[in-house]
Amino acid sequence: MRALARPRTEAAMAVEGRGLAAGYGSLSVLADCDIEIAAGSLTALVGPNGAGKSTLLKLVTGALVPWRGTLSVFGGAVAQARRAGEIAYMPQHEAIDWDYPLTVRDVVRLGRLPAIRARGGWRAWLPMSVQPGADTEAALGALDAVGLAGLAHRPIGALSGGQKKRALLARALVQGARLMLLDEPLAGVDRDSEAVIRRLLIEARAAGRTVVMVTHDLDGTRGFADRVLLIRGRVVAAGTPEEVLGVTPPDPVAAALARTGG
Ligand SMILES: Nc1ncnc2c1ncn2[C@@H]1O[C@H](COP(=O)(O)OP(=O)(O)OP(=O)(O)O)[C@@H](O)[C@H]1O
Ligand SMILES: [Mg+2]
């Protein structure tokens, strides 16, 4: 992979990919994929199961290396953005061992690690528990924002599925990264939690962050996302929610129900 040259401090594009191809072993998932995500925008990635949405996010985090093509984050190499703690990532399937004896606060505080490492010096390598109180305060603030302040000292494994999602969102928020990549943050959460998460993402965008979110709720992108990218092995459509919903075939079940007045 070649990184795009000319790193810029005020890059207009948060993510810029050209001719990307990627997959696993002999399985090709993305081919000839171009992608542009403007800095400071809120973008929704939509598409059917197996279309390559999570794979695309993994490329942008640097967890997966493209077979072909070029990819840059804020005008520089992905690895550089990752090292600088500029990328926060909430995976779809969290690799955390939920039985591990970590409290909710501990898990959220881990989001501060890139900032702590960036401060440098020998203190950066001390355990989280003896890092300055400001990092813990930030973690508690993020837990408060997602409505989990009361559960900070609970073992992470003792949370419900929706509460775990909110804890992982708090971890992504507390990192303070310029680019937030969230893989299905709204899946499996109740209506109240969904409203909280949507508000936090809008606030993050208002604070100048770039938010990229995978969702299956196409209608929910209206009045929320600036742009929608429809993924099917590559970006097959891109535009405002209205533009992209216009090219998406209507849901046949919903159409049948509408016809029968159901
Ligand atoms: N670690 C892996 N090893 C092998 N194949 C994988 C791996 N991860 C994903 N795949 C395959 O790659 C393809 C794309 O997967 P991906 O997770 O990117 O899809 P997705 O668009 O996120 O789907 P979903 O909506 O179900 O989350 C699928 O066929 C999937 O089975
Ligand atoms: Mg996925």
Q: What is the mean pLDDT of residues 192-199?
A: 90
Domains defined along the chain, listed by start: 1-86+181-188+212-262 (3.40.50.300)
Rounded CA separation 164/188 (Å): 10
Q: What is the mean pLDDT of residues 171-196?
A: 91
- Per-residue model confidence (pLDDT) at position 136: 83
Backbone angles phi, psi at 71, to 5 degrees: -145, 130
- For residue 24 and ligand 1, the question of a CB distance below 6 A is answered with yes
> What are 50-78's pLDDT values in tens digits?
999 999 999 999 999 999 999 999 999 99
- For residue 55 and ligand 1, the question of a CB distance below 6 A is answered with yes
- For residue 246 and ligand 1, the question of a CB distance below 6 A is answered with no
Taking the centre of ligand 2 as the mean of its atom positions, its distance from the CA of residue 183, in whole angstroms, is 7
Rounded CA separation 103/159 (Å): 10
The continuous run of DSSP H or E covering 256 comes out as helix 252-259
- Per-residue model confidence (pLDDT) at position 126: 64
Beta strand 42-46 pairing with 27-38: unpaired
DSSP letter string, 147-184? T-GGGTTSBGGGS-HHHHHHHHHHHHHHTT-SEEEEES
Taking the centre of ligand 2 as the mean of its atom positions, its distance from the CA of residue 141, in whole angstroms, is 29
Which tokens is 10 given? 């005020």
- For residue 53 and ligand 1, the question of a CB distance below 6 A is answered with yes
- Per-residue model confidence (pLDDT) at position 8: 46
Model pTM?
0.87
pLDDT at residue 251 greater than cutoff 90: no
pLDDT at residue 1 greater than cutoff 90: no
